[in-house]
Amino acid sequence: MKNERLGRGSIINYLIALAAIFSLNFVLPRLMPGDPLHAIYGDEALVAMTPEMEAYLIRQFALDKSWSEQLSAYLIGLLHGDLGFSYYYKDQVSTVILGALPWTLLLAVLALALATVMGAVMGIEAGSRRGRLLDSGLTASLMFLGGFPMFFMGILLLLIFGVSLGWAPLSGAVTPYAGLEGVDYFLDFLHHLVLPILALVLVLVGDSFLITRNTVVSILGDAFILTARSIGCSQFAVKYTHTGRNSLLPLITETGMRIPHLLIQTLFIEIVFSYPGIGLLLNTALYSRDYPLLQGILLLLTVIVLTVNLAVDLLYRKLDPRVRYAH
């Protein structure tokens, strides 16, 4: 199924998807009943609004002009990287988002790397012992863990290790106002990082494990493995050099395709652990009805997801020549 959409039109598809999100962002606030300024900025923001500010905003969004002029004002703003003004944070939306983005990237990238490497190693070990206790045990338990919705996995860890045992902090990325420096600061930071990462890894690792395991099982019957064994390669070399390297391709592509899913789950995990990334920002934006911030975040997520998808599509065709010939 997946290969079908890797055709020549994939870039066009992504452009269409992007345009659809842009138009949704533009049209939704203007379709809402009442004053579009209310819908764009939210009711709460208007309580604090002065007439001068209102006049300025109306001019900025070209709300006194026709639809086409409003649209061009909106697009020109976007091209300048102007996502609007967050009244909740009293700052430019782009600045607010860029401040939170590194935390989200830290969680997502670290969790993805850990889960992929751990999954690959366990997958190779289990696949080369197909049908034995280690294999069936790992498969069953990782599939069970993978069945949990990720944010509930986060909540479980929070309740067990944070609330009941008190081993880990309940929220945030560092202890606020602790005045820690150097190594202490870093340890505090790691202490806060453990649970969110663990939650993500526990759910993610099953995917990479199963892909690697299944590829390994199918590769182990191949002739070149038999050759490697017969010329006296060590068990380790056969497992990791011969089988491992050849099972990387499906692992890499499947991992890439799962990045959008991971990103969304990271947002929920951040909300559970009050980790100061994009997810927490999204939560704040939703609760304070800070619509410019909300739109900015969702726009950024869309762009990231589409870029990643496109990159994976292209990478896949590069990595596996068979795909290029097949289409």
Partner 1 sequence: MHINPLRAVASDRLALTGFAILSSIVLMAILAPVLTFFPPDYYTGLIFSPPSYSHLLGTDSMGQDIWSRLLFGARTTLLVAASVAILSTTLSVLVGASSALVGGMYESICMRVVDAMHSIPPIIVMILVAAYLRPNLLIMILLISILSWPTGARVVRSRVLSLKERGHVYASRTFGASWGHILKSHIAPEMGPLLIAMMIQDARRAVFLEAGMGFLGVSDPTIISWGKMIQQALDFTYLDVWKWWLLPTGLALSLTLMGLCFIGFSLEAAMDPRLAPRSVEGAVEKC
- List interacting residues with partner 1 (CB under 8 A): 1, 4-5, 9-10, 12-14, 16-17, 20-21, 24-25, 28-29, 32, 39, 143, 146-149, 151-152, 155-156, 158-159, 162-163, 170, 206-207, 210-211, 214, 217-218, 254, 258, 260-261, 264, 268, 271-272, 282-283, 286-287, 289, 291, 294-295, 298, 301-302, 305-306, 309
DSSP class per residue in 274-303? T-TTHHHHHHHHHHTT-HHHHHHHHHHHHH
Q: Which is nearer to partner 1, 102 or 147 (CB)?
A: 147
Q: Which is nearer to partner 1, 236 or 253 (CB)?
A: 253
Q: Which is nearer to partner 1, 213 or 242 (CB)?
A: 213
Q: Minimum Å distance from CB 49 to partner 1?
A: 20
Q: Minimum Å distance from CB 315 to partner 1?
A: 16
Q: Minimum Å distance from CB 25 to partner 1?
A: 7
Measure the CA–CA gap between 23 and 16, rounded to whole angstroms: 10
Secondary structure percentages of the chain, helix, strand, coil, to 5 = 80, 0, 20
Long-range contacts made by residues 240-249, C-beta under 8 angstroms, separation at least 24? 240/124, 243/124, 243/127, 243/128, 243/216, 243/219, 244/120, 244/124, 244/216, 246/215, 246/219, 247/120, 247/123, 247/124, 247/127, 247/211, 247/212, 247/215, 247/216, 247/219, 248/120, 249/319, 249/320
Q: Which is nearer to partner 1, 39 or 101 (CB)?
A: 39
Q: Minimum Å distance from CB 305 to partner 1?
A: 6
Q: Minimum Å distance from CB 9 to partner 1?
A: 7
